[in-house]
């Protein structure tokens, strides 16, 4: 298992590569990024390529030096979607979605902390689930003129930072003056929210949310558990938390669940993390059903306008369409084997049936 120090170094190198390039070019099968030609950057790019080759063998990383302009280029090529992934990674790290640490960001945080007393609490929460499209949905919503983005998309206050108190939490959201200005001058409402996709998993979070913001609107976006489990595995493999094959990881989790039905390891629970009915039931014990909207990731992908309109209606927002319904935080990887898919379809069938009964509608997750 990769050490915490190695993971931190890997993250910082990744941030540098995706945020500090000078120029980006689209290639036929990927992207090319340019950097200053220097020993420091050469070492950094070599380190990045070495680590990513191990966790993403279906990508190709080539470092190309150009003598004429004093630049060094990193070519990242691979399967369809590679170029979109590179562009998306840059957007994520340079926006309020998942901003990379920087001095500027630190100074901004110091300011909002000082003004937390005049800030509002969120009107909506996207509670999950991870690898189901929360980033895309949040990006679409925060383009709406009546929606103000939080300081960052994922705050994890109710499960990870609850001890800091609600005054700390308020610092992430707009001021009451911003809301007043929107209502009095622009004659429109202003709402805000955040999207922490692991809220859905934590058993303590529903009661904490209700105690703090009882009228909040909750949105859960779910994905075929077969695809979600595999996507989360690929994510953990990429960032260094996983070393086994997908099939080995599933076998390990099943054995652990046999020994302890309540077993849950945040970094390796690919199956338990997809038992949506059990997760939603915890929320519905605390919140009335009309405060929870559940949509399918597949709905958002195949019918984005219609599905997004449903979200806007739930939040009492006027009709609006973002510039594009481009998927964010999407990462290309090879298909799982047909045998493994068939095995997981069978495994998740009773859990899906329980979810359909809870929602009183069926999602197309039978394959």
pLDDT tens, the chain, 367 aa long: 567 788 888 889 999 999 999 999 999 999 999 999 999 999 999 999 999 998 888 899 999 987 666 899 999 999 999 999 999 999 999 988 889 888 889 999 999 999 999 999 999 999 999 999 999 999 999 999 999 999 999 999 999 999 999 999 999 999 999 999 999 988 889 999 999 999 999 999 999 999 999 999 999 999 999 999 999 999 999 888 999 999 999 999 999 999 999 899 989 999 999 999 999 999 999 999 999 999 999 999 999 999 999 999 999 999 999 998 988 888 899 999 999 999 999 999 999 999 999 999 999 787 6
What domain count does the chain have?
2
Nearest to 284 by CA among 180, 366, 184, 209: 209
Please give the pLDDT value at position 181.
Answer: 92
Do 80 and 185 fall into the same domain?
A: no
Do 238 and 314 fall into the same domain?
A: yes
Q: Name the pTM for this structure.
A: 0.93
Nearest to 346 by CA among 250, 248, 222, 237: 250
In-domain check, residue 39: yes
Residue that finishes a domain, picked among 39, 70, 87: 87
Task: Please enumerate in sequence order all residues whose Cβ is within 8 A of that of 200, keeping only pairs 6 or more positions apart, or say none.
Answer: 127, 128, 129, 220, 276, 279, 280, 283
Please give the pLDDT value at position 240.
Answer: 85
Kind and range of the H or E element at 191?
strand 191-195
Please give the pLDDT value at position 146.
Answer: 96
Do 150 and 79 fall into the same domain?
A: no
- Give the domain range for residue 247: 112-359
Nearest to 307 by CA among 296, 318, 315, 316: 296
Please give the pLDDT value at position 68.
Answer: 66
CATH code where residue 306 lies: 3.40.50.300
In-domain check, residue 98: no
Please give the pLDDT value at position 331.
Answer: 87
């Amino acid at each position: 298992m990769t050490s915490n120090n190695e993971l931190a170094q890997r993250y910082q190198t990744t941030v540098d590569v995706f945020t500090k390039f000078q120029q980006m070019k689209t290639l036929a099968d990927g992207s090319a990024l340019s950097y200053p030609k220097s020993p420091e950057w050469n070492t950094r790019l070599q380190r990045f390529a070495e680590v990513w080759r191990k966790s993403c063998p279906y990508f190709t990383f080539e470092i190309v030096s150009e003598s004429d302009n004093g630049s060094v280029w990193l070519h990242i090529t691979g399967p369809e979607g590679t170029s979109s992934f590179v562009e998306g990674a840059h957007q994520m790290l340079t926006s309020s979605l998942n901003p990379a640490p920087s001095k500027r960001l630190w100074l901004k945080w110091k300011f909002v902390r000082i003004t937390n007393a005049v800030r509002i609490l969120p009107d909506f929460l996207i509670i999950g689930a991870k690898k189901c499209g929360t980033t895309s949905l949040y990006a679409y919503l925060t383009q709406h003129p009546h929606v103000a983005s939080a300081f960052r998309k994922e705050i994890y206050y109710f499960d990870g930072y609850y001890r800091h108190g609600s005054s700390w939490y308020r610092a992430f959201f707009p001021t009451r003056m911003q809301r007043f200005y929107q209502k009095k001058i622009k004659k429109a409402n202003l709402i805000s929210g955040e999207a922490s996709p692991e809220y859905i998993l934590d058993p303590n979070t529903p009661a904490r949310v209700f105690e703090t913001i009882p009228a909040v609107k909750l949105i859960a976006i779910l994905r075929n558990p077969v695809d979600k489990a595999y996507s989360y595995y690929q994510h953990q493999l990429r960032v260094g938390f996983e070393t086994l094959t997908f099939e080995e990881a599933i076998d390990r989790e099943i054995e652990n669940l046999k020994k302890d039905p309540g077993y849950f390891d945040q970094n390796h629970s690919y199956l338990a993390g997809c038992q949506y009915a059990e997760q939603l039931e915890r929320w519905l014990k605390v919140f009335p059903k009309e405060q929870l909207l559940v949509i399918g990731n597949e709905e958002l992908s195949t019918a984005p306008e219609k599905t997004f309109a449903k979200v806007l209606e739930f939040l009492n927002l006027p009709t609006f369409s973002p510039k594009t319904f481009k998927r964010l935080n999407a990462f290309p990887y090879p298909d799982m084997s047909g045998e493994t898919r068939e095995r997981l379809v069978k495994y998740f069938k009773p859990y899906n049936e329980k979810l359909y009964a809870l929602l009183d509608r069926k999602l197309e997750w039978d394959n």
